[in-house]
Each structure stands twice: as structure tokens, then as C-alpha cells.
Structure 1
């Protein structure tokens, strides 16, 4: 049964729409993010070694530095593309969740988008919205409030996502004041740590997207009137 446009009369709210198309796009883009991050780690490890290896031929260093710059471009572009589609998926999930359980949300719908954009509050608002969506999307016999499922997966994903920003900030600060190879290597090492944490967060994000998309699909089928 398709749930591309399943109305939910008991709520009087916007009809439920399938997350599966957007979910598949997000997962594909998360795969690209992971691939770009892996490439960044490989190149970063080599750059870290070159900065501690003593004199290095200009051509060798220039080649790896060029790859290092390209890895930055790749990670940034895939991150932005994935972020845009992820927010579209997240917003649609929030709209669906409001149709399932309109009284289960502590924040208005707009925070599903602005929560990612507004500085400082973006460290916790998206998690709060995600937990409400998770709870409202729990499959059950009827529409309305549902028992809150374990939020361990959401919390693990969000924790890794937030923690990954710390070494990035430190690396930027150290690189800006670097005066020699030791500081440069330290900045590269912190950047690689951030990228590894980002890979782990992206893997968990794939699991969150898959799980929540499946939950809303089952919930929508339960909500569809039987002819």
C-alpha cells in the first residue's frame, strides 16, 4: 500500500506524506559524506607524516597539499548538499509527526528548520525536535500520544555530531596561530579526529533516517482508513 499521500482525518492537520523518497536521498548523500571523509582522513594522515618527516621534495609535498585542499572542498560540498536534503527530510518528518500526535511537540514546526541554522541553539534544539518526532512516530494501535521509544540511537547520533565540532574549532584556532611544524601537525591531527567522529555520526545518522522513515511508514499505514 502506498503512503505517498495518506490523509489523517482525526487530526485535522496536514496529511501524512511518505518519507521514503527523501530518506533514500539523504542516505545516499550521507554515503557520499562518509566517502569524502574517508578520503580526507587518508590524505590527512599523509600530510601529518610529511610535516614530521624532515625535508621533503617540493613536487611530493605540492601533490599531497593539493589533494588535502581538494579533500576540504569535497567534504564541504557533500556536507552542504546532504545538510539541505536532510533538513527537508527532517521538516517533512516533523509535519508527519504533528499529524500523528499534535500534542506531543514542545516546539513549533518552524524549529525543524531554524533549529539547525540559529547559532548556539543549534547545539540542542534539533535533538529536542528529533525526540518529539521519534515519540510521535511510534507505531501503535491508534493515533494520538504514544509511549516514548528508547531514544538511545538519537542521543548517540547527536552526541557524536556535537562532539565532532570541538576538535574542528581547536584545529582552526591552532592552525591560525601555527608557527612551525609541531603546531601544524597538531592542527592536522585534530582535524582528522573531527573527521573520524563525523564519519561515526554519519553512520548513526543513516540508522536514524532508516529507523524513523520505517516508523512513520508503519504509523501511516495504521492511520489509513480501511475501505
Structure 2
């Protein structure tokens, strides 16, 4: 038997964890898209006021029932164009917001080492599935923050954003509404105040969403800066 002691090899170092993803650029894009969406809704509100001041033509509303539609006035036709542009801007805003949320969620997993509470498909399905869309999107945002900061209270701006978002959905002119553009024109002639209130709620929701993005992004970046020198898995020194 050899006098030399048998050495036990050290445990191999753990492999690197999930890499952090840059989040500042995505946050800037999402905030810019939200500002553009708010501007688009302000323009819609201006057209609602213009329609109300012009008054309904003697021929009645554009949609006269029974599948009959009268020719649109120049103002009504321009509102259709404003509405179409606003819809495209809202789609762009949604894509930018989801791109930011996807990065924040991945970084939360890398920083905390915990799997997200909601599976990846909820990041998209949670916004469109009836009933589930009343709480899952907020839950995804809250989970991404709490997994990194379990000892902190959820920033109040998250609840303000979600409350205004839900109010915008039921206000009649949000992302999910049943009225056609011609029906909204008819409402502008007869009940413009309800449209203006809904417009204001959506603009406020966009503003609080932008503030929420800045708040959560700043907090996550601070944690990334704090943990980077420690050489934790997944953290680039």
C-alpha cells in the first residue's frame, strides 16, 4: 500500500446559471410606446369632442340598423382613420410591454434562482383569456418583483396601473370592447361624456404603466449591480 494519501477530488464547480438580459433598452422602448399610445388616445378624445360639437346629421347615425349604413361625413371618415391608427399604436405598445416583461421575468429567475409562479404561456394567454385576464397579468408582474425582493412591499404603482387598466377595459373604448367604430361615433353624438371619461382612464393607465416600468426596472437594475461583484451564477462580474 502506498504511503501517499489518496486525494479526493474537489466537487466540480457549479455551471453558470441563467444569464441576465439587458432590460434598460426594453424599458425605454415600452415607456416610449406607452407615451405614443396615450397621445393616440388623446387624439381620439379630441375627435370625440369634435363629433359631439358637430352634432348628429339629420340622416341619423352611421349604422342605421338592418345592415344599412349611410355615407360617412368627412369628420366621421377621419375618425375611422384616427381609430385605425390608434389600434395599430396599441398593438405596438402591447408588443413593447410584453418584450419588457419577458426580460424582467427572466432576470427575476436568474437573480432569485426560483421558477416563476406562472408558466411562460401565461405571459401572452393571460391577457386574452376571459376571467383569467382579471388577475394573471398583474400576478406575473408582482411575481417578477417579489421573487427578487421578498422582503419588500409591492410598489403601489403596480396596483394603480392594474386598477386603471381594468377600468379602461370596461369603459367601452379600451383594447377589448364590443362597439364598432360607427357605434362609438353614435355614442359621441349622444353620450360623449362617458367616452371622455373612458379616454381619460386609458391615458391615466398608460401613464401609470410607464411609471411602473421605470420603478420596477430601476429596482431590478440596482439588484443586478449589487450582485454582479459577488460572482453569483448567472451574474457577469
Q: Which residue of 1 aligns with 2:39?
A: 35
1:202 correspondence with 2:206: yes
Which runs of 5 or more residues in structure 2 are unaligned? 1-12, 60-71, 231-236
Instruction: Give me the whole-angstrom Cα distance separating, in 2, the residues matched to 1:33 and 1:163.
Output: 17
TM-score scaled by length of structure 1: 0.77
1:130-170 Cα distance to aligned partner (Å, 9 max, x none): 111122343xxxxxxx3132331101101100111112179
The 3-state SS of whatever aligns with 1:23 is helix
User: Is 1:91 aligned with 2:102?
Assistant: yes
Q: How big is each residue's C-alpha offset from its partner over 1:60-84, in whole Å with a ceiling of 9 and x where there is no partner?
A: x823212211221121011001101
Match of 2:167 among 151, 157, 163: 163
The count of aligned residue pairs is: 205
Report the RMSD for the aligned CA atoms in angstroms.
3.2
CA contact (8 A) 2:188 2:195 kept: no
* Preserved CA contact (<8 Å) 2:145 2:154: no
**Structure 1 stretches lacking a partner, 5+ long:** 1-8, 56-60, 139-145
1:64 corresponds in structure 2 to 75
In the superposition, the TM-score normalised over structure 2's length comes to 0.74
Residue-by-residue CA offset, 1:77-112 (whole Å, 9 max, x unaligned): 110011011111111111111112244743234322
Query: Helix, strand or coil for the counterpart of 1:119?
Result: coil
Within-5 A mapping of 1:21-170: 21-51=25-55, 62-103=73-114, 105-138=116-149, 146-168=150-172
Q: Secondary structure at the match of 1:203?
A: helix
Q: How much does 1:213 deviate?
A: 1.2
**Paired residue for 1:20?**
24
Instruction: Tell me which of the two structures has the higher relative contact order, counting C-alpha pairs closer than 8 angstroms and 6 or more residues apart.
Output: 2
How far apart, in 2, do the equivalents of 1:152 and 1:10 lie? 38
1:148 to 1:132, Cα distance in 2 relative to 1, 3 A: farther
The CA deviation at 1:34 is: 1.1
How far 1:40 sits from its partner (Å)?
A: 0.7
Question: 1 or 2, which has the higher helix percentage?
Answer: 1
* Distance (Å, rounded) in 2 between the aligned partners of 1:43 and 1:10: 61
**1:184 positional shift:** 5.5
| Residue 114 to residue 12, structure 1, CA distance change in 2 (3 Å) | farther
Is the deviation greater in 184-193 or in 11-20?
184-193
